[in-house]
Amino acid sequence: MATPHIAAEPGQIAPLVMMPGDPRRADRIAKDYLADAQQVSQVRGITVWTGTYEGTPMSVMGSGMGIPSISIYATELYRFYGVRRIVRVGTCGGMASSVKVGDTVIGTCAHTNASLSTLLVPGVNLSWAASYPMLRGAMDAAQALTDAPVHAGPVYSSDLFYLGRADIVQGLTALGTLGVEMEAAGLYAAAAQEGAEALTVLTVSDHLVDGSNDMTAQERETLYATSVKVGAAALLA
Ligand SMILES: O=P(O)(O)O[C@H]1O[C@H](CO)[C@@H](O)[C@H]1O
Ligand SMILES: O=c1cc[nH]c(=O)[nH]1
């Protein structure tokens, strides 16, 4: 049974899904990290791959950019395909001075300027949080997988890439926010709505305060080994 956005049959998508934003990164991750990867869906340029990771069934698909896009895919995966865990592996802009380009940021929770925080329960500004078992699995694995810094803390999921608001960046940084991206809050909200689990593992691709070491578009597409390995460990935890 296909959904409006995924053409796979029931059982063709694994309960554990790795989800980068960029569909081309999804194709590379499937090729490089999954054994026996098979294409099980192709809709709107988003391919879903299913294979095994260290012997366990796992799927990989791109989310596209922004909360509306990841919300559609995550909800359909959880609700119609029996997916239980999704890890977003993406990039973020560094906000805190302690975070450098190339570091890994794990989003324990996600602030957002998106409407979903106020839409679901009237009168309440909801908080969007990661799965603790997945977070613990990621942090345990990170220590063994990399000597490079891995930071865990709040991220900011912005509806605008070109936000252009230094006051918002300063305010969020003063509250300990590590980086800015565009999907974590939507993924965590979908997991909460569907009674499932999610985590976000990000490579810092640029820095909002010190842009001297920002990655090129090519580097953003290819430098993801740590986030994939840490993300896979979170899925398997
Ligand atoms: O690298 P990905 O996963 O696409 O994530 C980040 O990059 C995109 C913006 O360039 C947004 O999707 C943002 O969240
Ligand atoms: O959303 C994003 C992603 C990467 N870098 C940014 O500055 N913003």
- Domain assignment present for 114: yes
Q: Which two tokens stand for residue 71?
A: 């919300």
- Domain assignment present for 94: yes
E strand or H helix that includes residue 157: strand 150-157
Ligand 1 atom, smallest distance to 65 CA? 12
- Domain assignment present for 224: yes
CA of 205 to the centre of ligand 1 (A): 10
Per-residue pLDDT band at 146 (split at 50, 70, 90):
confident
Q: Look at the block and give the residue holding tokens 């991220």.
A: 155
The Cα 212–Cα 45 span in angstroms is: 33
Dump pLDDT digits (tens) for 76-114: 999 999 999 999 999 999 999 999 999 999 999 999 999
- Domain assignment present for 7: no
The Cα 76–Cα 187 span in angstroms is: 12
- Domain assignment present for 5: no
- Domain assignment present for 60: yes
Question: Domain containing 181: what range?
Answer: 16-236
Protein residue with its CA nearest to atom 8 in ligand 1: 65
Binding site membership of 159 for ligand 2 (Cβ less than 6 Å): no
Binding site membership of 93 for ligand 2 (Cβ less than 6 Å): yes
Does residue 65 sit in helix, strand or coil?
coil
Nearest-10 Cα torsion for 90, 21, 85, 177: 40
Per-residue pLDDT band at 230 (split at 50, 70, 90):
very high
- Domain assignment present for 8: no
> How confident is the prediction for the chain on average, in pLDDT?
95
Binding site membership of 169 for ligand 2 (Cβ less than 6 Å): no
Binding site membership of 47 for ligand 2 (Cβ less than 6 Å): no
Q: Is the ipTM of this complex over 0.90?
A: yes
Count of structural domains within the chain: 1
Q: Which two tokens stand for residue 178?
A: 């590590």
Q: Is 147 a catalytic residue?
A: no
**pLDDT given at position 162:** 94
- Domain assignment present for 34: yes
- CATH code: domain of residue 119: 3.40.50.1580
